[in-house]
DNA sequence: CACACTCGAGTAATCGTTTTCTCAAAAGTT
DNA sequence: AACTTTTGAGAAAACGATTACTCGAGTGTG
């Protein structure tokens, strides 16, 4: 692949002039610039990124590390990040940690070594890659979940309140024994949603019962098993609050296996408004999180830090809202 | 951020020794190596990627450029790529071209400048970024669609046959007027599926009718409009073959608006087996494409080219298979 | 006309690694 | 004991761009 030297030779100028011409500096004669441009064109010249980044001491790339590319919640975040970053001249590379702490650390490590301009991290679990980030000068923003024990800019969703509202709403719909399927202990979003569920029960004057709570990974399979174990209780719950949309898939599948209907048999509210949620029968009630906004806000925050914004770390909390559909209506009938 | 020089100073050795020690070369005294390691540790040293890549003339990163992160088909591909790449010591960066030819070119451009080891490209439309790739020495593999006018390794799915089989199957189920909603003209996957649909009609002895065919972007909204226009015909189709899963969402939404049921009112087969497909009422019949395998095969191909495998460009064609569910059963009843 | 200034382009230093040389000391050979 | 071979570590040369200097030529001013 052609280097700047070859371009310089072909155009009969120095490498400095080539560099200036190609970077649109105005201190170069227009005739020379034209010669450089055609020479570069003819050689198919493409500047060597590593060399440029090394010299400039910066790389116009943001890393976005998420825990599950197959989850619409995270892909919506990525779209938000991308839109903001792109407008500011940054590329975004998306890394999928697959909810694996080891992979997450490895991606953070790569991002740091490659000297990306900044990192957006949606931390997986407890042992996050966040500790690698803190201390290095590389700006970073935590999305969706805080980094345990590390201070830094954070964009969260007030899912506790949303969970409380959703639970209260279930009780108002006539469900007297709401259960809850949430994520692993120690994962903030999982714990907040559980706490919100308990608050909601209290607000509705229902005595909570820990046997109506199950935890699993934020995946379909675990949630399916949890659902089965709940519904096989002698006093099963009459409705469920489900902590994310991947889990909702597992819950729905198990309901189908058991021959139960959402709504009439088991009230259902799940977190995250996936595109398919409203197409189910009955349409799935959800707590819609502002995923796209998490992305845009996070990216803006990161860009301002990259632009050397000083000041204390900030925490932005966005709010989620309930979208009631028929899966939380005990009177719903298939036809 | 600490450099190799500072580590060398602190350990009282030369930079060459530091480099050798950290890269696990065996030609370095174990006592010195230990000193280097602790010095690096204490300084939080992290090698400068751009410098390393510049010197080594290679970057252990693969770029995967896809047209829609929100489409499960592509995220499944990415998982396949990731698994293979990771095992071989490569990182994968995922770039979302958003079906925008301009963005695609821009990402290809970034990938080339950053001198990634290889590029996996699932081309968007006609004006692909592929022409940027051909000619450069950077190995690349086209996924899902061929690069128009450019020879290179390609991994495809035989969606033509799959479309034919699906159409024939619809007719065997008793539907006599299958329609087709496919992607934009000129996009190979769209055209192949349409051709397969026509073959299927022919095989079933049904006279095709071009008024039963609609094209739109591979998105929900356009497919929804197409569905409406088809079903408002005086002689509407009694069933539909839909060319991808994002489109299926639009079709389903429109059916609901029109108060029609899949299966009993309109037979439905869509491409791509999304996780939610089987949870619908009726469960959605699909043509399941081996998305994960596209990823693994593509990545292996790319890795072997990176490993200097010579030889003519290859084309691997994987096959898709029909997964019949109730949405293509005219006798299906809600209960 | 002499002098200071501006302008534009070339020279060379620099970014932080890896790796080829180079060379002294240790080890082995006759 | 003299000589070759091996070993291990430092000095210095890449890698390919950007950019701080430098310097000659052209321009403006008193």
- Those residues with Cβ within 8 angstroms of residue B193's Cβ, 6 or more apart along the chain or in another chain: B159, B160, B162, B163, B180, B182, B183, B241, B243, B271
Place of tokens 């290889």: B118
B315 CA: distance to closest CA in chain A (Å): 26
CA distances A215 to A195, A198, A221, A271, Å, are 13, 14, 12, 15
User: What's B10-54 look like in SS3?
Assistant: HHCCCHHHHHHHHCCCCCCCHHHHHHHHHHHHHHCCCCCHHHHHH
Neighbours of A172 (CB within 10 A): 10
Nearest by CB to A281, from B50, B95, B281: name it: B281
B69 contacts in A (CB within 8 Å)? 69, 75, 78-79, 94
CA distances B325 to B166, B243, B301, Å, are 12, 17, 34
Q: Which residue of A has its CA nearest to B136?
A: A1
Is B89 an interface residue toward A (CB < 8 Å)?
no
Q: List the pLDDT tens digit at each of the 335 positions of chain B.
A: 899 999 999 999 999 999 999 998 888 899 999 999 999 999 999 999 999 999 999 999 999 999 888 899 999 999 999 999 999 999 999 999 888 888 899 999 999 999 999 999 987 766 677 788 888 889 999 999 998 888 899 999 999 999 999 999 999 999 999 999 999 998 899 999 999 999 999 999 999 889 999 999 999 999 999 999 999 999 999 999 999 999 999 999 999 999 999 999 999 999 999 999 999 989 999 999 999 999 999 999 999 999 988 889 999 999 999 999 999 999 987 65
CA dist., res. A80 & res. A291, Å (int): 8
Place of tokens 């290809």: B108
Is A141 an interface residue toward B (CB < 8 Å)?
no
Tokens describing residue A198: 């308990």
Is domain B57-156+291-318 annotated with CATH 3.40.50.300? Answer: no
Nearest by CB to A54, from B51, B92, B275: name it: B51
A176 CA: distance to closest CA in chain B (Å): 26
Q: What is the dihedral of CA A52, A55, A58, A61, to 10 degrees?
A: 20
- Those residues with Cβ within 8 angstroms of residue B183's Cβ, 6 or more apart along the chain or in another chain: B189, B190, B193, B215, B216, B217, B218, B243, B244, B247
pLDDT in tens, B134-162: 888 899 999 999 988 888 999 999 999 99
B53 contacts in A (CB within 8 Å)? 50
CA dist., res. B243 & res. A47, Å (int): 40
Q: What is the mean pLDDT of residues A110-132?
A: 86
Is domain A57-157+291-319 annotated with CATH 3.40.50.2300? Answer: yes
CA dist., res. B51 & res. A62, Å (int): 19
Q: How far is the CA of B33 from the C1' of D30 (A)?
A: 70
Nearest by CB to B279, from A249, A278, A335: name it: A249
What pLDDT, on the 0 to 100 scale, is given for residue A335?
A: 59
Which candidate, B109, B118, B140, places its Cα nearest to that of A45? B109
Crossing angle of the two packed helices A245-257 and A220-231, in degrees rounded to 10: 50
Place of tokens 């450069």: B136
Q: How far is the CA of A40 from the C1' of D16 (A)?
A: 15
Is A274 an interface residue toward B (CB < 8 Å)?
yes
**pLDDT at residue A245 is higher than 80:** yes
- Those residues with Cβ within 8 angstroms of residue B143's Cβ, 6 or more apart along the chain or in another chain: B77, B120, B121, B122, B154, B155, B294, B295, B298
Domain ranges of chain B: 4-47, 57-156+291-318, 159-289+322-328
Does any strand C atom come closer than 7 Å to the Cβ of B51?
A: yes
Residues 184-243 in B having a C-beta less than 7 A from any atom of strand C are none
Tokens describing residue B87: 């095992």
Cross-strand partners of A94: A64, B94
Instruction: List bases, strand C, within 7 Å of protein CB.
Output: 7-12, 14-20
Domains A57-157+291-319 and A159-290+322-328 alike in fold:
yes
Are B92 and A95 a contacting pair at CB < 8 A? yes
Neighbours of A47 (CB within 10 A): 18
Nearest by CB to A49, from B78, B114, B220: name it: B114
Tell me A14's DSSP state: -
Q: Which residue is nearest to nucleotide C14 (CA to C1')?
A: A55
What pLDDT, on the 0 to 100 scale, is given for residue B167?
A: 97
Which candidate, B93, B115, B62, places its Cα nearest to that of A62? B93
Question: Is the bond leading into B65 cis (omega within 30 degrees of zero)?
Answer: no
Crossing angle of the two packed helices B4-11 and B15-22, in degrees rounded to 10: 100
What pLDDT, on the 0 to 100 scale, is given for residue B193?
A: 97
What pLDDT, on the 0 to 100 scale, is given for residue A99?
A: 81
Helix (H) or strand (E) holding B242: strand B239-242
What pLDDT, on the 0 to 100 scale, is given for residue A131?
A: 82
Residues in chain B: 335
Place of tokens 């500096």: A25
Q: A159-290+322-328, superfamily in CATH?
A: Response regulator (3.40.50.2300)
Neighbours of B310 (CB within 10 A): 5
Q: Which CATH class is domain B4-47?
A: mainly alpha
Instruction: List bases, strand D, within 7 Å of protein CB.
Output: 7-12, 14-20
Q: How far is the CA of A56 from the C1' of C14 (A)?
A: 10
Are A51 and B54 a contacting pair at CB < 8 A? yes
What pLDDT, on the 0 to 100 scale, is given for residue B269?
A: 98
pLDDT in tens, A134-180: 888 899 999 999 988 888 999 999 999 999 999 999 999 999 999 99
pLDDT in tens, A205-234: 999 889 999 999 999 999 999 999 999 999
What pLDDT, on the 0 to 100 scale, is given for residue A165?
A: 97
Q: Work out the percent of chain A whose per-residue pLDDT is above 90.
A: 82
Which candidate, B299, B317, B318, places its Cα nearest to that of B83? B299
Q: How far is the CA of A5 from the C1' of D11 (A)?
A: 27
CA distances B274 to A268, B165, B325, Å, are 21, 20, 13
Which candidate, A235, A244, A186, A192, places its Cα nearest to that of A210? A235
What pLDDT, on the 0 to 100 scale, is given for residue B27?
A: 85
Cross-strand partners of B315: B154
Neighbours of B22 (CB within 10 A): 17
Is A134 an interface residue toward B (CB < 8 Å)?
no
Best residue in A1, A3, A48, A49 to probe B by mutation, most B CBs within 10 Å?
A49
- The alpha-helical segments, DSSP class H, found in chain A are 4-11, 15-22, 30-43, 49-56, 72-87, 101-113, 130-133, 159-172, 188-203, 220-231, 245-257, 291-306
Residues in chain A: 335
**pLDDT at residue A129 is higher than 80:** no
What pLDDT, on the 0 to 100 scale, is given for residue B132?
A: 87
Is B75 an interface residue toward A (CB < 8 Å)?
yes
Tell me A262's DSSP state: B
B256 contacts in A (CB within 8 Å)? 279
Q: Under CATH, what is the fold of the domain B159-289+322-328?
A: Rossmann fold (3.40.50)
CA distances A235 to A206, A230, A327, B304, Å, are 15, 9, 21, 58
Question: Is the bond leading into A282 cis (omega within 30 degrees of zero)?
Answer: yes
Q: What is the mean pLDDT of residues A91-97?
A: 91
What pLDDT, on the 0 to 100 scale, is given for residue B141?
A: 96
Is B252 an interface residue toward A (CB < 8 Å)?
yes
Is B69 an interface residue toward A (CB < 8 Å)?
yes
CB B253 within 8 A of CB A277: no
With cut-offs at 50, 70 and 90, classify the pLDDT of residue A126: low
What's the mean pLDDT when you consider all of chain A? 93
Query: ∠ CA(A55), CA(A56), CA(A61), 5° rounding?
Result: 120
**pLDDT at residue A20 is higher than 90:** yes
Does any strand C atom come closer than 7 Å to the Cβ of A203?
A: no
Is A2 an interface residue toward B (CB < 8 Å)?
no
**pLDDT at residue A130 is higher than 90:** no
């Amino acid at each position: 692949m052609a280097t700047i030297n070859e371009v310089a030779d072909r155009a009969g100028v120095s490498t400095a002039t080539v560099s200036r011409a190609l970077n649109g500096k105005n201190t170069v004669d227009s005739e020379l610039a034209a010669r450089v441009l055609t020479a570069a064109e003819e050689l198919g010249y493409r500047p060597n990124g590593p060399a440029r980044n090394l010299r400039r001491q910066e790389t116009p790339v943001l890393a976005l590390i998420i825990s599950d590319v197959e989850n619409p919640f995270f892909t919506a975040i990525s779209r938000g990040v991308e839109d903001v970053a792109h407008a500011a001249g940054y590329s975004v590379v998306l890394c999928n940690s697959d909810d694996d702490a080891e992979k997450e650390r490895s991606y953070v490590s790569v991002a740091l070594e490659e000297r990306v301009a900044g990192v957006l991290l949606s931390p997986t679990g407890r042992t996050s890659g966040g500790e690698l980030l803190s201390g290095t000068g590389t700006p970073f923003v935590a999305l969706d979940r805080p980094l345990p024990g590390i201070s830094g800019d954070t964009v969260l969703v007030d899912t506790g309140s949303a969970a409380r509202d959703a639970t209260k709403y279930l009780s108002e719909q006539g469900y007297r024994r709401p259960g809850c399927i949430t994520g692993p202990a120690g994962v903030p979003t999982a714990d907040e949603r559980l706490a919100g569920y308990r608050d909601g029960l209290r607000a509705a004057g229902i005595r909570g019962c820990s046997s109506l709570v199950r935890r699993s990974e934020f995946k379909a399979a675990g949630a399916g098993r949890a659902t089965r174990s709940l519904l096989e209780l002698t006093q099963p719950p009459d409705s469920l609050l489900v902590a994310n949309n991947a889990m909702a898939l597992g819950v729905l599948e198990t309901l189908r296996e058991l021959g139960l209907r959402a709504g009439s048999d088991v009230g259902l509210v799940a977190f995250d408004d996936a595109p398919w949620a409203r197409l189910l029968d009955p349409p799935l009630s959800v707590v819609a999180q502002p995923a796209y906004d998490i992305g845009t806000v996070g990216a803006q925050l990161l860009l301002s830090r990259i632009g050397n914004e000083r000041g204390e770390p900030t925490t932005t909390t966005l709010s989620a809202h309930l979208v009631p559909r028929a899966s939380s209506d005990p009177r719903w009938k298939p036809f």
